[in-house]
Structure 1
Amino acid sequence: MILTNSFHPDVRVYKEAKYLVTKGFDVEILCWDRENEYINREVEEIEGIKIKRFFQYAKYGTGYKQIIPYIKFIKKCKKYLKNKEYQYLHCHDLDGVIAGFFCKSRNCKLIFDMHEFYEGQDRNQILKFIIRQLVNLMQDKSDTIIYVNEIQKTTMKQKNYDKLIYLPNYPESKSYIGCTKIQSEKLRVSYIGAVRQYNELKNLMDACKNIEGVEVFIHGAGTSYSKLKEIESNYNNVNITGLYHYSQSAYLYSQADILYVVYNMKINNWKISYPVKFFEAIITKTPIIVSKGSMLEEFLKDNDIGFVVDGNNVEEIRELIEYINSNRYILDEKMKNIEKIQFNFTWEEIVKNLYQIYK
């Protein structure tokens, strides 16, 4: 596998690799630890998964400044693989498959694991066009394409449909078995995951400020973590905890009465995505707040499992939280509805699709 992060671990990649190991495959992940977080762990093994890290330094979020280190990473991978025997090169995301294309041996199969809808990340039309062309090219060059939602198929060439394998990022049910809510007198509104959307999370903090009996928890690391942490002391009911290990996820959900899944709707990728935290909320029977205008809104309303809000409207968020806080019985009703679909979206079942590639 080729992965352009440090695998600490990347939960989706970890779950895929672990499944293949259980099926008897020898799996090695070549990682780009661009910020040198694991400089003392160049080589390690986790549950039978071999990890090899490369340390071409680059800072996340610096755009084009990362190109030269990225090219150096590709060269390192190519040199490393030169004398390796392998049948498959399983590449994660667009930057991973570009690296894989330049590294692959003549006889190996190239797998493009598309974790998201790449041209939906940017509003610049020229950049979106360039990304679309790169995605099309890599899909043409790949032997198999893994996708996570139907939107990814809308811009795909018809000839590549036969290459498709569906593998949405559902949670492992065994990681959440026995996850029961720890009771609290306070209403706990939680965000659990990558902390990237500064404005939306700050709006939540502002909306809940000084509401008696309400606490806000923001669990996770990301590009907006430091900025939010700097203003945490301005609030009397906000807890920003930072990076957590994936094994702690069930415990964090046991302390959450509501999960806040609100993103910037001007970014198409966030508008159309089904983040894993949405399915984690379902498996842990946690009612959900989602963005108006998101793909999640229709699903949420059809199943009556949560609430919808405009993430840019602080007053609207405040009114919703105050309403829920004064009518706690509503959460019990939502939880009963979640129970009906609680185990419909589990990794243990969907990961079997991966075996269609490697059988």
Structure 2
Amino acid sequence: MYNVVLIRSNPVRPYPRLEKMANCLVKNGHNVTVLAWDRDMDYEPRNEQLKLKSGTVPIIRIGIKGQFSGGMKKNLRGLIKFQRFIYSWLKQHKSEFDVIHAYDFDTGYTALKFAKKHKKKIVYDIPDYYIDSHGLRGSCIGWLIKHMENSVINRADATVICTEERKKQIQGTHPHNLYVVHNTPDIDIEDQKDLNLDNEKLKLVYVGILGRTRFIDKIAEVVARRKDCEFHIGGFGGGLESYFENIDKEYENIYFYGRMPYDKTIALERACDVMCAIYDPSVPNHYYAAPNKFYEALALGKPLIMARNTGMASVVEKEGLGEVIEYNEESLNNAIDRLLHKKFQQNEVAKKAKRLYCNNYSWKKMETVIQELYSVI
């Protein structure tokens, strides 16, 4: 069994992908510690506790003021300080762990440098390939970062991606052990409480980063003009909090919940009718996206609205699990009309979605992959 340090450049408040990984490791006898970057305010490292299904693990959060979805320029100072913190903490505690499990390039490169120097194992987990998620493809700095990130992939003891499609995105690399761990929820659907929302109107829901490339402000504007549906939204970051606080007050069919813990996110999604994962297809990384919302919708048996030419939209279209739209308001409005007319088919969609989830994406299947990964490194 290993002593594992998981590192992520967000506060893990929540961050389901890391929390599920940590829980799986704890459940299988490994010891886990988490390092995290809180961008809300500046503060010295804090030793806190992260509650998981299978126990509680230490999490060390450092506060370095930054901006979610702010890009490299707005976060460069914080990013450099976070790298120094990672290396310093790893050096001070090097006798206490065997494996570093690093998420994305903004933790992976520093983690790799330390791991190779001090003979530690490293698992490189790629929720988002850096040059595509930060709009750097084709630039000089993008070329440099691609070269650096590919070196992490090539030298890590194992690499984790979130869909089979991502193999195309990292084409040209030569990972030693490559595994696919989907962003599947680890939830007990039957344990979720009913929220008793209005059953007369079609309820759309989105909970996540409040970024403009998620089309969420446009969803709100479309729904605000209608009387037959509602939009329930939660999340943080991305610069749209004030917008949703204001529109919530202005329209009776727009509901903004702010930052939500994961259990309340699932409860809200379960209470609504349609889940939204409408990402801007002009962003290269969105073609390979594996939105949590896609997997949560399958597990909950909910139809989805997704944008054409974005990750997993082809599955929604092929399997008839919702609506795939063009990235504009008219297409969304038409999709809502169709969903209202097909509301009587929801039970059929639910059965199909849950069957696909169980056969292809269930968290039990993902746990088997994680166990295999940690047995070979």
Q: TM (normalized to structure 2)? A: 0.85
Letter in 1 for 2:121: K
Distance 1:195-1:108 versus aligned 2 partners, 3 A rule: same
Aligned to 1:266: 282
- Is 2:149 the counterpart of 1:140? no
Measured after TM superposition, the shift of residue 19 of structure 1 is 1.4
Select 2:176's aligned residue among 162, 168, 174: 162
Q: Bigger shift: 11-20 or 220-229?
A: 220-229
Structure 1 residues 25-36: aligned runs within 5 Å: 25-36=30-41
2:127 is the counterpart of 1:112:
no
What amino acid maps onto 1:177 in structure 2?
A: E
Match of 1:101 in 2: 112
- 1:101-250 mapped onto 2 (5 Å cutoff): 101-104=112-115, 105-121=117-133, 122=135, 124-126=137-139, 127-156=141-170, 160-174=174-188, 176-179=189-192, 182=196, 184-197=199-212, 200-223=215-238, 224-250=240-266
**1:41/1:99 Cα in 2 relative to 1: closer, same or farther (>3 Å)?**
closer
- Partners of 1:210 and 1:237 within 8 A in 2: no
Residue-by-residue CA offset, 1:158-188 (whole Å, 9 max, x unaligned): 67243212212111143x2355875711111
In 1: Cα distance, 2:92 partner to 2:193 partner:
50
Distance in structure 2 (CA, Å) of the matches to 1:110 and 1:172? 24
CA contact 1:147–1:166 (8 Å) conserved in 2: yes
**1:196–1:225: 8 Å Cα contact kept in structure 2?**
no
* C-alpha contact 1:173 1:346 (8 A) present in aligned 2: no
**CA–CA distance in 1 between the matches of 2:182 and 2:60?**
26
Question: Judging changes above 3 Å, is the alpha-carbon distance between structure 1 residues 335 and 55 closer, same or farther for their aligned structure 2 residues?
Answer: closer
For 1:23 and 1:40, how far apart are their aligned partners in 2? 32
Pair 199,58 (structure 1): closer, same or farther in 2 beyond 3 Å: closer
CA gap of 1:199–1:135, structure 2 versus 1, over 3 A, is closer
Q: 2:309 aligns with which of 273, 293, 296?
A: 293
Query: Which residue of the partner structure matches residue 22 of structure 2?
Result: 17
| Structure 1 pair 114–198 and aligned structure 2 pair: CA distance change class (3 A) | closer
Deviation at 1:111, TM superposition (A): 1.5
Corresponding residue to 1:68 among 77, 91, 94: 77
Q: Is the 8 A contact 1:136 1:157 kept in 2?
A: no
Corresponding residue to 2:350 among 313, 332, 335: 335
How far apart, CA to CA, are the structure 1 residues paired with 2:166 and 2:320?
26
**What do residues 223-245 of structure 1 show as CA deviations (whole Å, max 9, x unaligned)?**
13333333334434111211110
1:88-143 superposed Cα distances (whole Å, 9 cap, x missing partner): 11111111112213433522112211112333221652154333212212112322
The residue type equivalent to 2:49 in the other structure is E
Select the structure that is richer in strand.
2
Aligned equivalents of 1:357, 1:318: Cα separation in 2: 44
CA distance in 2, matches of 1:251, 1:128: 40
Tell me what 1:57 maps to: 65
| Equivalent residue pairs, number | 356
Q: Which amino acid aligns with 1:88?
A: V
Q: Please state whether the residue corresponding to 1:12 is helix, strand or coil.
A: helix
- 1:309-348 maps to which residues of 2 (within 5 A)? 309-312=325-328, 314-344=329-359, 345-348=361-364
SS at match of 2:305: strand
Residue identity (%): 21
- For the residues of structure 1 that align with 2:366 and 2:259, how far apart are their CA atoms? 27
- Tell me the distance in 2 between the aligned counterparts of 1:286 and 1:8: 25
Q: Confirm or deny that 1:80 pairs with 2:99.
A: no
Which TM-score applies when normalising by structure 1? 0.89
Q: Secondary structure at the match of 1:27?
A: strand
| CA distance in structure 2 between the aligned counterparts of 1:203 and 1:132, rounded to whole angstroms | 33
Q: CA RMSD in A?
A: 2.5
Name the SS for the 2:215 alignment partner.
helix
> Closer, same or farther in 2 for the Cα pair 1:318/1:154, shift >3 Å?
closer
Bigger drift between 297-306 and 57-66 goes to: 57-66
Specify whether residues 58 and 324 from structure 1 end up closer, same or farther in structure 2 by C-alpha distance, changes over 3 A only.
Answer: closer
| Consecutive unaligned residues in structure 1, runs of 5 or more | none
